Structure 1
Amino acid sequence: MPSPQRVALFAILLGGALATGPPSSKNCSKVCESVSKLYPSEIVFPSSPGFQTVQESYWNLFQREAAPSCFFQPTTSEHVSKAITQVVQEDCHFSIKGGGHSSNVGASSITGGFQFDLAKLREFKVSDDKKSVTVGPGWRWGELLQQLEPLGVIAVGGRDAGVGVPGFVFGDIVLADGSLVTANQTSHPDLFKALLGGGAHNFDITTALKLELHPYDGMWGGYVLQKGDQIDHVFAAYDKFFHKLQKDQKGHMILDITRVNGSIAAVEFIGYPELVQNPPLYDSIYALSSSANTLRLANYTDLAAEMAVVTNSRGLRNTYRTLTIEYDAELLREIFDTWAEITEPHAAVITASLDINVITSQMRNRSSRTIKNTYGLGGATNQLIIVMFSLSWDDGAQDTTSHRLVQDLGNSVESLADQVGKLKRFRCMNYAHIEQDVIGSFGDSNKKLLKHVARTYDPHGVFQWLQPGGFKLDGQKS
């Protein structure tokens, strides 16, 4: 079990005081050897031919550069249970990799520790009534969609084909003591609710996921591209789309503005979940002077694969930062102007993007009514925008500059939004920088609930201290 000192520190952390951080792991090589005797075909050592291949399965170059004592690729929940028991007994740091798509260093990677790689947990079972599917965390959204679409059903999930399934949903899990439980709305509902906000970085290792399925026969979507000289028209068109969205809740669109080699371009990624040609919701976008347009009737599989190609920064150094604002057309334009000014001096070596995602009150409230979560977004009637800044580069000499740049972007834009009373508390975990207090952004009552659940299911603080990556319950990070 974790040392008494660590247990005491965890108790302080959950009580509200800030502890100093986890001690270093010492016995991870021993754990790797022990687990390899139990499951020799599922351990990949640094000397193994496949070690580099597994490292390269991470999306972010920062994570690829981590070198664990070994990768463990279990094929059953029982294997995970045995391994986590060994890890805890030896006080070994560990990390958990699902799809490996995080932008944050150490989120799903570790140097010198024990690395769980869930890529071979590949269960796939559709219920007889086709209302749900149970899958392992080794699936990525693109390949999962390919399995579901021929059955006339679809699951709500990632928009990028290359993103792993477990970063979004939960189901069967392994706790710190090795016990296997199912977390859903009727079994361990407190843990299930906590997972839908606090994430598996704080409570467990997910080994199977149950997804709700919906009837499906295709959709309308694609992307539309404009050059930078159209940016005024783009924002005007977005404002018209936004106001139409209040009446037609079916559609969605992401506005992505990117500077590549000094040139700015805007892309609208569009998805409408019905076989409707040119839905009127996007009339203002159709009217733009565009350099490319792929809008068509298509499968979700094709649209997710297209987005993965267009937005591809796999194998580069990547970092994100996010904030949430109440919708304001003038503020959005000021955010763009600030982004353009701050990123321009670095355009030759750093690719910068500004993403604008709308989250309407109807979307938030419908989600909160269906499945209780800890985001703290339900009940309000205002319309929100999740803003994401992303930077990509390939030269390690730019690491310090990029880190400072994404901080400057976040601080400057938060100040802008705060000055006009439009800055909101919520920070989206999938888009957040490791230095942002994501858990705190859910609100005091939800943070208190998450701590209570952690005390209940992980009383010794294994997932707070032995698993240093991710967003911790008091903003404590690796």
Structure 2
Amino acid sequence: MVLCFKRIALCWSFVHIAVSLQLQQQPLIPGLNASNACQKACSSLLRTFGGKTDYPSLPEGFSETYFSQQQREVVPACVFLPASPEDVSQALQIIKGHQCHFAVKSGGHAMSAGASNAPQGVTIDLRYLNQIDLADDHLTTSVGAGTRWGEVYRRLEPLNLTVVGGRDSQIGAGGFVLGGGISFTSRKRGWAFDNVKNFEVVLANGSISNISHTSHPDLYFALRGGGSNFGIVTRFDLETHQQGLFWGGHKFYLLSDIAERKKSMGIVYPFNWTPRWFTQKFSAWGVQAACRMGYCSTVKEIAQMLESYSRGYSDPSGQIILSFAFVPKVDVYLVCVNLMHGRPEPYPPVFKEFEAAKNIYSTTRITKMTGIVAEVDWMNKIGYRQSWATATFKISVPFLSKLVDIFIAETDPIKHVAGFLPSLILQIITKDEISAFRKHGGNALGISEDEGPLLLLNDAIRYSDAADDEKVHNANDRFMNRAVALSKEMGLDHRYIYQNYANQTQDVFAGLSPENKQRLLQIQKRHDPERVLSRLQPGAFRLQESADLTMQGRFKS
């Protein structure tokens, strides 16, 4: 059983397999062909910047730098690789002058087609804006927007320093920070965008500005929740903190009540002589045997552990990510919990319930940040197709229990899809984190402490075959619609939509407080009256008066 469940560590995994060269020969986003405007923009970039522009061919291995298969399938008209903020400024004016659509790539970890790769437009790849400069006083680290978080941690770790950054080493700084940026240290330090002292930004008019809460308080506010609508960020000056060893890792728990839940929903598997049927039966017997030995918990017990963590110990060093997942190879639903503590202290009191419950496999140990993110990298295999959606709720054990039933009901009918691995990922937005939203005049989310703690849900499905897109997306949509409807019925709904987990049919700005959305629109009118950064980035989340997801829907993953 141990060998079998070592594969379970795929449970918090999202992503997949390399794309064939044949896919690079034609655009795979229907209805969006290389316009004359974009061809002219690419030609102009090539004349101006020479080797910094790849046109008409693309850089070797370019598609493989993206996390999701959907992004890998996008074919831009050209790729521009700036080496300085001045390059970005000049390129933006060329692109704007030709009215060509574009996308900005930091690490390429967004899952939706078009999010950071412009179909038959200009993709601005920031990979060479990868500086990591630590100030002499060790209080600030300047990080280029194209830097990946693993590089940042490797630079700071020997000095016992860290910043609030990504939990996967391959994620780029740019999109992560602008989307909010939940870190392994966020309960203590806040989210990434609230730990930025200064943003170096190319604005819509081409000017290069340094934005802080004292120099430009309106833009500083807008960059903490407004996404990519206010400029192309080229550098983040990040608060830097002392940090030694961590304790953490992943623990895996079996569930004793899944069969009963399936039966209550009418999910049965008639007898037939197929390998799949025998896998289901042997897995069920294996789970029953493990449960008799005390290695199982119920969904309700797991939900109570998470609820207890959210309201219990006020230990800002403890962070949890909890996932309900289905593992097709062994036909088992189980729980994966990522525990992380900012001190090298095994099982501090904040995690006492998770220590008491028997697990079937654990990777917890004393380690460095690089060790933790390497483990996440190992789980997050790149190159798969992805379907994500997100929502935020108030916390309730009965609600969590019903969520799992909906998850089973919507994933079980499609569990034989190639490469299928669905995860219902749950995180707590703690009151500690929400209190940090007030730093430097407050960010744009408009969430107050009396609204917390909150439950952040990410329904993430990975799979392999484009032929299954509709089937998977429909299942994900049904799950999210049912989850939101249930939350409203139980009085547990909340407006917030976390940008870094949202798909491009979700209106993330409807999730802000109404007054903050209006404030963002006013700032946009002052600094980008032509809405260049929203209008010409159709794959990004666009700030506008009313929800118009027509263009975003074209890029739905």
Match of 1:37 in 2: 47
TM-score (norm 2): 0.78
**Cα offset, 1:267, TM superposition:** 0.8
1:182-261 matches, within 5 Å, as: 182-200=210-228, 202-229=229-256, 230-232=296-298, 233-245=301-313, 247-261=314-328
Verify the 8 A CA contact 2:150 2:170 in the aligned structure 1. Answer: yes
- CA deviations over 1:329-357 (Å, ceiling 9, x no partner): 11111111111111111111132110110
Dislocated runs of 4+, deviation >4 Å: 22-25
Worse-matched range after superposition: 331-340 or 273-282: 273-282
**Cα offset, 1:284, TM superposition:** 1.1
2:207 aligns with one of 176, 179, 184: 179
C-alpha distance in structure 1 between counterparts of 2:100 and 2:307, whole Å = 52
Match of 1:364 in 2: 434
1:152 aligns with one of 157, 160, 165: 160
**Cα offset, 1:366, TM superposition:** 2.6
Match of 2:464 in 1: 394
C-alpha distance in structure 2 between counterparts of 1:54 and 1:290, whole Å = 41
Match of 2:185 in 1: none
**Cα offset, 1:34, TM superposition:** 1.5
Q: Which runs of 5+ in 1 are unaligned?
A: 1-21
- Give 1:288's aligned amino acid: A
Q: Which runs of 5+ in 2 are unaligned?
A: 1-31, 179-198, 257-295, 552-557
Verify the 8 A CA contact 2:446 2:512 in the aligned structure 1. Answer: yes
| SS in structure 1 at match of 2:40 | helix
- CA deviations over 1:278-321 (Å, ceiling 9, x no partner): 212111111222121111111111101111212x1411110211
**Cα offset, 1:265, TM superposition:** 2.1
Verify the 8 A CA contact 1:248 1:281 in the aligned structure 2. Answer: yes
| SS in structure 1 at match of 2:127 | helix
1:303-318 matches, within 5 Å, as: 303-310=372-379, 312-318=380-386
**Cα offset, 1:381, TM superposition:** 4.8
- With over 3 angstroms needed to count, the CA separation of the structure-2 counterparts of 1:273 and 1:379, relative to structure 1, is same
C-alpha distance in structure 2 between counterparts of 1:442 and 1:176, whole Å = 23
| SS in structure 2 at match of 1:120 | coil
C-alpha distance in structure 1 between counterparts of 2:310 and 2:214, whole Å = 37
Count of residue correspondences: 452
C-alpha distance in structure 1 between counterparts of 2:137 and 2:322, whole Å = 37
**Cα offset, 1:105, TM superposition:** 2.1
Match of 1:7 in 2: none
Verify the 8 A CA contact 1:152 1:216 in the aligned structure 2. Answer: yes
TM-score (norm 1): 0.91
Match of 1:281 in 2: 350
Worse-matched range after superposition: 440-449 or 358-367: 358-367
Match of 2:388 in 1: 320
1:476 aligns with one of 548, 551, 555: 548
- With over 3 angstroms needed to count, the CA separation of the structure-2 counterparts of 1:24 and 1:34, relative to structure 1, is closer
Match of 2:72 in 1: 64
C-alpha distance in structure 2 between counterparts of 1:277 and 1:55, whole Å = 41
C-alpha distance in structure 1 between counterparts of 2:141 and 2:62, whole Å = 27
Worse-matched range after superposition: 434-443 or 221-230: 221-230
Match of 2:90 in 1: 82
| SS in structure 1 at match of 2:437 | helix
C-alpha distance in structure 1 between counterparts of 2:74 and 2:436, whole Å = 40
C-alpha distance in structure 2 between counterparts of 1:359 and 1:107, whole Å = 25
C-alpha distance in structure 1 between counterparts of 2:344 and 2:218, whole Å = 39
Match of 1:19 in 2: none
**Cα offset, 1:432, TM superposition:** 1.1
Match of 1:119 in 2: 127
Task: Please give the root-mean-square deviation of Cα atoms over the aligned residues, in Å.
Answer: 1.8
- With over 3 angstroms needed to count, the CA separation of the structure-2 counterparts of 1:23 and 1:71, relative to structure 1, is closer
